[in-house]
Amino acid sequence: MSAWIIQSWLRLRASYYFIPTLMGLSAILLGVLTTIIDLKFQAEIRDLLGWFFASTVTSARSVLTVIAGSMISVAAVTFSLTMVAVTTAAGQYGPRLIGNFMRDRANQVTLGMFISTFLYCIVVLKSVSEEITIDAQSTVGLTPSLSVLVALILTLISVGVLIFFVHHIPETLNVGTLTGKVSRQLIHQIKQGRFPSSENLDVGNVESLGDPFDPKLTQSVRSRSSGYVEAISLGGLVEWADENKMRIRLLRVPGDFVMFGEAVMDVINDDVTADFDHNVFETETAKDLLSFIALGRERTEFQNLLFLSDELVEIAARALSPGVNDPFTAINCIHRYGDICLAMMNAPAAPDCVLGEDRTPRIWARPVSVKRLYDALFGQSRQYICEDENASRETLEVLYQLKSRTSETFEGVISDQIETLKVAIQQSSMGDAQKARLSSAPPYQF
């Protein structure tokens, strides 16, 4: 699969128009269907529905007109509230968090529900008539009893959705909800498998094989554009490598920025004695390989643990800034740091290779290590945490708790974070009394 397809699908999912468009088209089809049923089975529907049916064409038009007008007005209010929430989140938590609101299914479905009800009523209104020609000789009046009943049901559902939406908007702006959502997404990615893991591909560690990429026999594929790596089609790369008997080392992974002309991958033949046809490699082959890497204008969470970790760091950094001075929001993020790091340490070792046919190593990639995640979370936050007594205390508590629950493999990583934070606290502008309280509190005297 081309990386462009993956990239396009990710952008569709994050758009406000994809789900509402699908729901709107479904509503149009539903309106056509109920109108046809009304036209063919008016008498039977009248007997079946009893007092539910619309008695006259005029009353049907009135009901549908009121519903359509109300729904489009509520849709406009809903869109306005969503934009207010996005603006508030961008200003309070950082622009990186906007994507979370754009991808929020509840917001998309709410907008889609109101638009769908509006479109349904418009379609049915178009068909309401005193007389409709059936053939050259006969006409029949259409009183859309079933269609009006369906419109009323859609309206009741829309009212329920509106009540849910009014509750949902302030809930999404709650920092606990926001950090919890980001944390769960990150932990889910860790448990599902870090890049280059894939549910559909075999992966493994190939340290025992050594480095097969001899610089004298390796060809580099260079980017023909610039941007952030948004997605890499591992399945497509493995399929291509199997077909062409090649091995590929990815020099850039999702989240990295690529400059024009920068090497993004190295390629070597299975048969190291075989030579490359450089003319073909630099034109056709390079173009084929670059189609499996999608570059875009911004980083995304797809295949990228560090994007989600940076979201938490941004919330904590803004909360500890002098202009905001909200240590409790930062502490909320620090607690999530501990939860994430614990999941990372308990997860299976990250693979560094994707296997092809007959479990032949095909794709080498750089996975996110435990140390790198600690540096991304605690390391990037350290300069802000060390200036606040409450945040420093909670961070030390979390680090010592993690150290007590881990194996010897990761003790050194955590110890380095603890010692570096202690030095940062001593060198910070925090008051001497605050430093003394921190340094004298067990179990982390320093």
Question: Crossing angle for the helix pair 175-192 and 305-319, nearest 10 degrees?
Answer: 160
Same domain (yes/no): 285, 141: no
Residues 219 and 325 in one domain: no
pLDDT tens, residue by residue, 254-312 = 999 999 989 999 998 877 666 666 666 677 888 888 899 999 888 888 888 899 999 99
Residues 330 and 326: their CA atoms lie apart, in Å, by 7
Same domain, 277 and 316: no
In this prediction, residue 61 has a pLDDT band, given cuts at 50, 70 and 90, of confident
356 within a domain of the structure (yes/no): no
Do 10 and 149 sit in the same domain of this protein?
Answer: yes
Asked if residue 42 and residue 140 are part of one domain, the reply reads: yes
Tokens read off for 92: 């309070």
Structural domain contains residue 398: yes
Are 14 and 158 contained in the same domain?
A: yes
Distance CA 197, CA 395 (A): 31
The verdict on 277 and 312 lying in the same domain is no
- Residues 343, 279: one domain? no
Same domain for 39 and 128, yes or no, is yes
Q: CA 144 to CA 127: how far, in whole Å?
A: 9
Q: How far apart are the first and last CA of the chain?
A: 55
Distance CA 347, CA 415 (A): 20
CA distances to 236, 245, 325, 354 from 242, in Å: 10, 5, 55, 11
pLDDT of residue 324: 80
CATH number, residue 291: 3.90.1170.30
381 pLDDT band (50/70/90 cuts)? very high
Nearest partner of 315 among 297, 294, 303, 329, judged by Cα: 329
Residue 376 has pLDDT above 90, yes or no: yes
Q: What does the pLDDT look like over 211-224, one tens digit per residue?
A: 677 777 788 889 99
Domain count along the chain: 3
Whole-angstrom Cα distance, residue 17 to residue 10?
A: 13
Between CA 216 and CA 144 the distance in angstroms is 77
Summarize pLDDT for 312-358 with one digit per residue, the tens.
999 999 999 887 888 999 999 999 999 999 999 998 887 888 888 87
- Structural domain includes residue 355: no
**Beta carbons within 10 angstroms of residue 401's beta carbon:** 13
The pLDDT confidence band at residue 140, using thresholds 50, 70 and 90, is: low
Residue-range definition of the domain harbouring residue 147: 3-173
178 part of a folded domain: no
Across all residues in the chain, what is the average pLDDT? 84
What pLDDT sits at residue 312?
Answer: 92
Instruction: Kindly state whether residue 445 falls inside one of the protein's structural domains.
Output: no
Query: Two tokens at 257?
Result: 């920025």
Q: Are strands 246-250 and 263-269 parallel, antiparallel or unpaired?
A: antiparallel
pLDDT digits (tens, 9 = 90+) for 184-243: 999 999 988 888 887 677 777 766 556 677 777 788 889 999 999 998 988 889 999 898
> For 412-433, what is the mean pLDDT?
91
21 and 57, same domain (yes or no): yes
| Same domain as 313, residue 292 | no
Q: Is residue 278 part of a domain?
A: yes
Q: Judge if 225 and 332 occupy the same domain.
A: no
Residue 212, in any domain of the structure: yes
The answer to whether residue 83 sits within a structural domain is yes
